[in-house]
Amino acid sequence: MSENVFDLIIVGAGPGGLTAGIYAMRAALKTVLIEKGIAGGQINLTESVENYPGFENISGFDLSQKFMQHAQSYGLEVVQQEVAAVEPGLEFHAVRLANGELLKTHAVILATGGSPRKLGVPGELEYYGKGVSYCATCDGFFFRGKNVIVVGGGDSALEEALYLAKITCRVYLAHRRDAFRGSRILQERVLADEKIEVLWNTVVTEVKADGQGVHAVALKDTKTGAARELAVDGVFVFIGFSPNNRLVPAGTRMDHDGYVMADEKCETNIPGIFVIGDLRQKYAKQIVTAAADGCTAALAAALCVEMKKAGQACPAHRG
């Protein structure tokens, strides 16, 4: 790493983190963005993005590459490292890396997003990668011409069911209620797709497999309680996300689901520590709102850094 004292450290290279990087560089903040995996985060798992303004249809991977190229065109330093801890301080916050390195910074933006929520049924984790998947774009190819079940009723489940219907023989879409949560346009496409069979009021209670991989799921009707078995080769789970809040410092306000509460500047109750994107408690978790958070937090961080350098405290949380 080029330095070990920064104005701003951004953790996570999804749409929020990279947008924060663009704004931070334009505000001339000495910034580093740290990402443990590949840039893009969750959007890399999305086959096609149709609601990011300016792009009628673009793959999640291509969009994340564009965000990265844009940020790096301003000279943003992106480091592939794992962050072990964020430790708040009065003058500087400390960011401890897994390799033992200690970085100091006036402000931190946490953009660590979320991870797919698990069903928590027998067989799910045992057969992850052997028939159970949380990413249709990554694994759909292996189920070409086969039968799969998608679980969930939100935008992710609907989008991924549509994607899988193009590849597989048949898609069963199991939703625990009798109405989808996802957007109307996706609902209409799913219901019009002859290869998708919706199983309303249905939950998966077990993933069944043998030496050859997954061969069936046990299902339960949530209204009648009736149980049955359905032969499938793959199980795709899209039942929402859990926030990746491991690095959120102790004492930061969170809701009961583990999302971080922040003010309109995306600042937490710890001055100089900001949260953006899917980690933040908010109404709409979209690429465009993650990017908007990135802008807001970087502009607010720039003000915070300026005040700290002038010997004043960062503006405190007003919520």
Query: Which one is catalytic: 7, 62, 135, 178?
Result: 135
137 belongs to the binding site for ligand NAP (CB under 6 A): no
Which of 96, 181, 189, 253 forms a contact with ligand NAP (CB under 6 A)?
Answer: 181
32 belongs to the binding site for ligand NAP (CB under 6 A): no
Footprint (CB under 6 A) of ligand NAP, residues 151-180: 151-157, 159, 176-177
Query: Which one is catalytic: 139, 193, 221, 263?
Result: 139
- Note if 169 is an active site residue: no
- Note if 139 is an active site residue: yes
- DSSP 3-state of 289: helix
Nearest to 172 by CA among 156, 195, 155: 195
How many helices (H) and strands (E) the chain has is answered by: 6, 17
* Site pattern 94..123 for ligand NAP (x: CB under 6 A): -------------------------x----
Dist. CA 217–CA 209, nearest whole Å: 9
- DSSP 3-state of 304: helix
DSSP string of 144-166, one letter each residue: TTSEEEEE--SHHHHHHHHHHHH
Dist. CA 101–CA 1, nearest whole Å: 10
CB of 59 or CB of 72, closer to ligand NAP:
59
CB of 19 or CB of 137, closer to ligand NAP:
137
How, if at all, do strands 93-97 and 102-110 pair? antiparallel
* Site pattern 57..96 for ligand NAP (x: CB under 6 A): ----------------------------------------
Stretch of 66-74, 150-158, 164-172, 300-308 contacting ligand NAP, by CB under 6 A: 150-158
285 belongs to the binding site for ligand NAP (CB under 6 A): yes
Nearest to 204 by CA among 178, 228, 182, 240: 228
DSSP string of 14-44, one letter each residue: SHHHHHHHHHHHHTT--EEEEESS-TTGGGG
Which of 203, 219, 266, 291 forms a contact with ligand NAP (CB under 6 A)?
Answer: 203
41 belongs to the binding site for ligand NAP (CB under 6 A): no
238 belongs to the binding site for ligand NAP (CB under 6 A): yes
Helix (H) or strand (E) segment spanning residue 204: strand 202-210
199 belongs to the binding site for ligand NAP (CB under 6 A): no
Q: Positive or negative, the Cα torsion across 129, 134, 138, 142? A: positive
Q: Supply the residues annotated as catalytic.
A: 135, 138-139
Q: Which residues bind ligand NAP (CB under 6 A)?
A: 51, 119, 151-157, 159, 176-177, 181, 203, 238-241, 284-286
